[in-house]
Chains A and B, each alone.
Chain A
Amino acid sequence: MIPFKQIKVGDAIPSMTKPAISHLQLALYAGAGADHNPIHVDEEAAKAGGLPGIIAHGMLPLGFLGQLLTQWVPQRQVRSLSARFVAMAFPGDVITCSGKIVGKREEAGAQLVDLEITAQNQKGENLQLGKATVALISE
């Protein structure tokens, strides 16, 4: 349990590095995520669409950012999650997710912290820039 009063603006939450994205993972995500766009599984279709090759679903790194939060607090405490997909992820990319506290507030009796969250690839390039709000306990 993470007490609200011990959290300070500027604090980092524990970061998380995922195993490299594989073609198998994209196939599994195409199925489970119900996203059958061929640009995620078919090299020729991706190139025909003007892409350099197969790209990962944007929802995959965002799924990782969701995990960043649920590894820090129980999922029920996550109030919101969002991201801008600023660059594409490709098979083989190793994604690291990190987050820091940018605000603390109380709203309707709930103690909330606002976070900035980021998914980067192995070159340190930002792939996703996001925000989240998490409720913490008071004691």
Chain B
Amino acid sequence: MIDRSIIGKEYPPFTAEVEKRWVRSFAEAIGETSPIYFDESVARAAGYRSLPAPPTFPFAMIMDGNQSFMILDELGIDKRRAMHGEQSFVYHADLCAGDVVTGRQRVVDVYDKKNGALEFLVTETRLDNQRGEHVCDLRTTVVVRN
């Protein structure tokens, strides 16, 4: 069972740069074809500083920062028994190639169902950019099958 004392724990900030190549490869991976995610001139014409990151890109930044697996490792949970159960994004500002983002993650809940056969780990992460703008809030639920 996951130790409930982890609820409320805050992790040190992590930083990641939204590289142009990363935005393009992410857009390609989800089968995106709109030129706004690949061609900077199209993105600029639409009013963006550079290529916009697709709506679910912020979660890739969390994974790139090892934020999700770090907690599983800390708790001694086998990744193969962990699955993503729920995800939300609230957007506050554009996220574009060239941005350098700082994320701060904390654990907000741990609970179980089916007498502990399923455990749920809920975290929230706030992302801010290099100009101090609040970019996005993420809430992640990971399900562990015991």
Which residues of B are interface residues toward A (Cβ below 8 A)? 22, 25-26, 28-32, 34, 36, 46-47, 52, 54-56, 59-61, 63-64, 69, 78-91, 94, 139, 145
Contact = CB atoms under 8 A, between A and B. Distances in A.
Given A37-B80, A76-B94, A29 B29 contact: yes
Interface string A43-62: 00110111100010111101
Contacts of B46: 74
B29 A32 contact: yes
Nearest to B48: A76
Contact of A58 (B26, B31, B32, B84): B84
Interface in A17-73: 18-19, 25, 28-29, 31-35, 37-39, 45-46, 48-51, 55, 57-60, 62-64, 66-67, 69-71
Contacts of B82: 37
Nearest to B59: A59
Contacts of A64: 30-31
Nearest to A82: B88
Interface of A: 18-19, 25, 28-29, 31-35, 37-39, 45-46, 48-51, 55, 57-60, 62-64, 66-67, 69-71, 74-76, 78-85, 88
A33 B68 CA distance: 12
Contact of B80 (A29, A48, A83): A48
Nearest to B34: A70
A46 B81 CA distance: 9
A83 B87 contact: yes
Given A28-B28, A75-B54, A80 B87 contact: no
A45 B80 contact: yes
Nearest to B22: A32
Nearest to B23: A32
22 contacts: A29-B29, A34-B60, A34-B61, A34-B64, A39-B79, A48-B80, A49-B78, A49-B80, A49-B81, A50-B80, A51-B80, A59-B56, A66-B30, A69-B55, A75-B36, A75-B55, A78-B91, A80-B88, A81-B89, A82-B89, A85-B85, A88-B83
